[in-house]
Amino acid sequence: MQVYSGMDVITNKVPEAERHGVEHLLMGFKSPGEQYVVGQWVQDALKAIDETHKRNEIPIVVGGTSYWIQHLMFPNRLAVDKDSSPMPAGRTPMSQELADIVAALPLHLLALFNCLPLHPPSAATDPDAAFNLHTLLSMLDLPVANRWHWRDTRKVLRSLGVIKETGKRASEIIMDQTNDLASSKPRFIEFEFTWLLSEIRALRQIATAASREESSSDSAGVKTDYTLGIYQSIGYKEFHDYLTASEPSEKGFDAAVEHMKVSTRQYAKRQVGWIRNKLLPAVNTANAEEAVTPTYLLDATALDSWDKNVRGLGVQLTEDFLAKREMADPLSLSESARKMMLIDSKAVDPASVLNARQKRICHVCTLHIDRPFMVEEGREWEAHRNTRVHRKLAAKGQQSEHGEVHQQRKTKRDEASTRN
């Protein structure tokens, strides 16, 4: 958000006076309503980095959205994401293989694919539409369809959307990405990655500034599109109700502040999730080949120890890195570092990504073939098999099929006692 001009406080731009003469690039150079996406930023950032290197200086990339930084560090790794580079104007053509499968779809599913609903249908009120979508996805991309319950129409529709937008199945994209992850190298030979774990500070102060900034920019009565440009930033849309109320109240202000705190926490959670699930695995994979990317987490939650734990440590690590000295063990820095940075390495294995959360149909509990009862493999499935409902239906099924339920149960019990 700092690429946009204005809104200096809510986007938390470093004030001129605190920059100490250090040049800040790509800041405040876009007008607030303009769209600026990660692909463009990577191009602009690479140019700035290149120019800095030519002056024999070391660039420090500061941010922000770790997703953007990952794109900068690792080329071509993240093929599809809605925040990614803009989709080509025309849709990407499908492979012949996929096009043939689409052409051979039953007519009603072909019509559905050609005209996907804009919004996911509700499985509760429109189960036929929901199940049709899932059937369509099963025919086009079975491994992914197996991961979503047919009732989860949002995910099903998104996976179908991916096929239409990219001409590829989501499962193919996952394979491509993880293969890239295994083969391609970071764009830079040496970099140090530092991550600040910090708590949300001075919300009320930011909130006040947000309301001031909005009231000055919104005064023309122009309707603001909160999905575009800087208007997406936290602290802006949350104040809309308060500022457009005929009589702004203290209560409305408090509600806006509360709303903003929630958004900020959600944002922080998404960022941490991205770092742990995407960025650190990518960095670890790169390091497994050649240890060049020390990655550190600095715990900035306690402000009173900022000088020691954040600034002091940060400066020390950077000096060690630049002087090519032995670097500290990233997990040794703090308790938070140990907790947050120990990650599961299986996240980068495509098979484990695709095989995670597979659903299976419980034929016992499925009463209608178009409304299959689906349960997640593993623990959920085991738990389901022991539910009263399932056991009752299973017993009933055996009775109606064989009329020998008593006999069968007895046999099962005998088997069990033999095993024991």
248/242 Cα distance (integer angstroms): 6
- 390 touching Zn ion, by CB under 5 A: yes
Q: DSSP character for 347?
A: G
Considering the complex, state which of residue 232 and residue 408 has its C-beta at the smaller distance from Zn ion: 408
CB of 416 to Zn ion, least distance (A): 20
Pick the piece of the chain touching Zn ion (CB under 5 A) from 40-48, 146-154, 295-303, 382-390: 382-390
Burial of 220 (0-12, 13-18, 19+ CB in 10 A): exposed
Binding positions for Zn ion, 332-371, rule CB under 5 A: 362, 364-365
CB of 398 to Zn ion, least distance (A): 13
Token code pair at residue 270: 């998404």
Q: Are strands 374-376 and 359-361 parallel, antiparallel or unpaired?
A: antiparallel
Considering the complex, state which of residue 323 and residue 369 has its C-beta at the smaller distance from Zn ion: 369
Considering the complex, state which of residue 164 and residue 390 has its C-beta at the smaller distance from Zn ion: 390
- 374 touching Zn ion, by CB under 5 A: no
The partner residues of 197 in beta bridges, in order of sequence, read 299
Pick the piece of the chain touching Zn ion (CB under 5 A) from 109-117, 188-196, 388-396, 410-418: 388-396
Considering the complex, state which of residue 280 and residue 365 has its C-beta at the smaller distance from Zn ion: 365
361/256 Cα distance (integer angstroms): 45
C-alpha torsion sign, points 90, 92, 95, 98: negative
C-alpha torsion sign, points 409, 410, 412, 417: positive
Considering the complex, state which of residue 391 and residue 409 has its C-beta at the smaller distance from Zn ion: 391
The partner residues of 196 in beta bridges, in order of sequence, read 298
Pick the piece of the chain touching Zn ion (CB under 5 A) from 72-80, 164-172, 299-307, 389-397: 389-397
> Where do the DSSP E strands lie in 168-258?
193-198
Instruction: Please enumerate, as own/partner, the contacts of 200-205 that have beta carbons within 8 Å and a separation of 24 or more.
Output: 200/261, 200/264, 200/265, 200/268, 201/303, 203/257, 203/260, 203/261, 203/264, 204/257, 205/9
Pick the piece of the chain touching Zn ion (CB under 5 A) from 65-73, 118-126, 159-167, 390-398: 390-398
Number of residues in contact with Zn ion, rule: CB under 5 A? Answer: 4
CB of 360 to Zn ion, least distance (A): 10
Considering the complex, state which of residue 78 and residue 364 has its C-beta at the smaller distance from Zn ion: 364
CB of 389 to Zn ion, least distance (A): 7
Considering the complex, state which of residue 321 and residue 381 has its C-beta at the smaller distance from Zn ion: 381
Binding site for Zn ion (CB under 5 A): 362, 364-365, 390
